[in-house]
Structure 1
C-alpha cells in the first residue's frame, strides 16, 4: 500500500513538472511571437492620399511583409513638428512630407539616408526626385503653373496666359485671387517671378518687384492653397495653382485650363523619408522601396494625378493629359533650391505680409 502511494505521488509529481514545462514553453513561444509582431508607423497626408493608402497601398504591403501599419494623419508642417518633438525617442518610421518642409526636416537632422541595397527602385527614379544625399525621395510629381477660366477668357476675347508676368497685366485688375506666400504655391510664384525677370532663389528682389505689380490686380491672397471656390464663384479668372488641383476641378466639368509658363514651372514634390533612428528602420526602408515600385506609382498617378517618378511606369489614355509624365515633361520642370529658400523663407514671409498682402 505504501509503495502504491509513493508511486502515485511520483506520477503526480511528473505530471506537474511536465505541465509546468509545457506552460513555460508555451509562454516563451507567445512572447517571442509578440516581439516579432512589428507595427510600422507612417505619418502622412490626409484626404485623398489617406483614402488611397488605406484602400490599396497599405493592405498589400501588410500582406506581403506580414506586418501591421499604423497611419498618423497630418500636414507636412504637423509631421515635421512631431518629428522634432520625438527626436530623442522617435515613434514614427516613415514620413510623407512636401519637398519644402522635407528640406527643413533634413537640415534639422530628423531623417535617415536611404539604403540603396534595400531601396533598389531608387535606381529607376528621375534625378529631379532624388536628394543629393539620398535622404528621402520624391514619390509623386506635380507642378505649380498658371490656371485660367477658359470660358471667361473667351467671353472677354483674351489670349490664354503664357507667362508668369501675365498675372501683372492691368486688364486683370480686381479679377485675381493669388496664393499667399505662406503656402508653397505662393513661394513658387515668388521664385518664378524672380526667375522670369533675371532673378533667382538667391536674388529674389526681381520677384518682389513683379509681385507688387501682380498685387494691384489681386482681390485677395489665399492662404488655404485651395482657390477652387474663388474660381467657381467667379472671383478669380486666373491664378497660380497646382496641376493636380486644377485637373481635379476640371474633372467636375468646370472650364479651367492649366498652363506651364514659357519661363518654366517648378516641380512640387511629395516626398517619402525614413525617420532617423526609426523603431523599424529596415522595414521603413522596404516601405519606401515599395512606394517607388511601378505598381504603387501607377496607383498614385491614376487616383491622385501624381506624376510617377519611376521611369519604368507605363501609362496610356486620358490620364496622360492630367499628369506630369515621361522624361520630356519632367526635364522641363524647375527644381527649387529649397535649402536657399528655407534660409530666407521667414524673412520673405514677413516682408510679403507687410509690403504686399496686408492691403488685401
Structure 2
C-alpha cells in the first residue's frame, strides 16, 4: 500500500513540475515577443508581391514575433473580398488603388488609423492623407503613355506626345488598352476627356475620343498588367503606370514612358486597416511599418513608387522615374474619386456597350 502511495505521489509531482515548466516556457516566449497570431494581408501581385514577401514581411515578422499571410489579388479582387466578408472579416490589411479604396471607405469596410500607433502619419505629404484617417497612401506613381521605342524607331514614328496620339490610324491592330474595369482604364477615359475639352464632370468627350482610339485596339486588358502584350509584340503602345513601365524597362525591354502634354494622372497605392479586423493592433503597426523611411525608400528603388514620407532621401536616376518631392507631386492631376465612383457603374456599362464589346 505504501509502495502504491509512493508511486502515485511521484506521478503527481512530475505532472505539477511539467505544468510549471510549460508555464515558464510560455512566459519566456511572451518575453521574446513571439505570438501565435497571423496577420492577413490582401495585396497586389507581380513585383509588389515579390518585394513585400522578400523585404517587408520577414522584417515585420521578426520585429513583432508574428506570422503574415499574403493573399494576392487586384484592387477589384480585394474590394470584392472585403464586401463578401463584411460581417466576418478575415483580412486585416488591404492594399488598394486610390479609386477602389475610396469605394471601400464609402461602403464602410475600413477602420480609422490610430495616430498613436501609426506615428509616421505626421511625416507624410498631404496628398497621401485621408481627411478622416481611413487608410493612407503609401506610394505614388503617374498614369501616362508607354511605347515600344525600338518599334517606333524602326517605323520612323515620332514618340508619343498626346493622349490623342493613340487614335492615329498607323496603330490599327497594334494596341492593347486598359479596360475600364481597372484603374488605368478609368484614367484613360478621364484623360481622353480632358484632352478634348471635357473632365470628370463632362465625360462625353472622353467616350467620343475612346471610340476613335478603340478602332486601333486588339483587345482591352482587365488585369492592369500589359507587360506580356508588349513582350509578345501584341501592342506597341498603351496607357499604363510609370512604375510598371520602369519595372519592365529594367529587364532590358525597350519601353519608354511619356507624360503627355495634357498631363498625367496621380495614382496612389493605399494601405488600410479593415474594419473589425481580427488583428487590429497588429494591422495598425503594419501600416506604420510600411510608412517608415526604410520601407518607403526600398519601395521607391525597387518598385518605382514615389515615396510619400517626406523624410525619404533619393539620389541618382531614380529621382527621374518616380514622383519625388512636393514640386513633382503638384504637377500630377488628381482624380475626383467621389464623383468618379458615383458615375463608375454608368461609365462601365456604357464602355462595355459602346467601346469594349467588340474586343
Please report the TM-score for the alignment, with normalisation by the length of structure 1.
Answer: 0.88
Q: Which residue of 1 aligns with 2:202?
A: 203
Quick one: structure 1 residues 179 and 89, their matched pair in 2 at CA, closer, same or farther if it must change by over 3 Å? closer
Distance in 2, matches of 1:222 and 1:200, equals: 23
Give me the whole-angstrom Cα distance separating, in 2, the residues matched to 1:68 and 1:345. 37
Paired residue secondary structure (1:89):
coil
Q: CA deviation at 1:232?
A: 3.8
Change (3 A) 1:99 1:15: same
Which residue of the partner structure matches residue 246 of structure 2? Answer: 247
Change (3 A) 1:13 1:235: closer
Deviations 1:53-82 (A, max 9, x none): 222211111121222222222332232222
CA distance in structure 2 between the partners assigned to 1:138 and 1:124 by the alignment = 12
The corresponding residue for 2:87 is 88
Mapping of residues 166-205 of structure 1, within 5 Å: 166-205=165-204
Task: Give deviations 1:243-295, integer Å, cap 9, x for gaps.
Answer: 12211222233332111112221122221111111122112111100000011
Q: Which has the larger radius of gyration?
A: 1
Matches within 5 A, 1:134-283: 134-283=133-282
Structure 1 equivalent of residue 100 of structure 2: 101
Q: Is the alpha carbon distance of 1:181 and 1:313 closer, same or farther for their aligned partners in structure 2, counting shifts above 3 Å? A: same
The Cα of 1:192 is off from its aligned counterpart by: 1.3
CA offset digits 1:107-128 (Å, max 9, x no partner): 1211101111111111112222
Counterpart for residue 114 of structure 2? 115
- 2:45/2:72 contact within 8 Å kept: yes
Once structures 1 and 2 are overlaid, which stretch shifts more, 70-79 or 182-191?
70-79
Alpha-carbon separation, structure 1, partners of 2:245 and 2:133: 31
Per the alignment, in what secondary structure is the counterpart of residue 333 of structure 1?
coil
- Bigger drift between 321-330 and 151-160 goes to 151-160
- Cα offset, 1:26, TM superposition: 4.7
Distance 2:191 2:177 in 1: 14
TM-superposed deviation, 1:151: 3.1
**CA 1:170–1:71 in 2, change beyond 3 Å: closer, same or farther?**
closer
Equivalent residues of 2:35, 2:66 under 8 A apart: no
TM-superposition CA deviations, 1:289-309 (whole Å, max 9, x none): 000001111111222222211
CA distance in 1, matches of 2:218, 2:96: 31
Q: What are structure 1's unaligned runs of at least 5 residues?
A: none
> Are residue 301 (structure 1) and residue 304 (structure 2) matched?
no
Is 265-274 or 320-329 further displaced after alignment?
320-329
Residue 315 in structure 1 maps to residue 314 in structure 2: yes
Post-superposition, which runs of at least 4 consecutive aligned residues in structure 1 deviate over 6 A?
Answer: 8-14, 30-35
- Contact 1:128-1:335 within 8 A present in 2 as well: no
Shift of 1:156: 4.0
- What is the number of residues matched between the two proteins? 355
Partners of 2:214 and 2:77 lie apart in 1 by: 30
TM-superposed deviation, 1:94: 1.2
Give the direction of change, closer, same or farther, for the CA distance of 1:37–1:358 in structure 2 (3 Å limit): closer
How far the C-alpha of 1:188 sits from its partner, in A, is 0.5
Say what the alpha-carbon RMSD is for the aligned residues: 2.7
Measured after TM superposition, the shift of residue 171 of structure 1 is 4.4
The 1-side partners of 2:318 and 2:109 are apart by 36
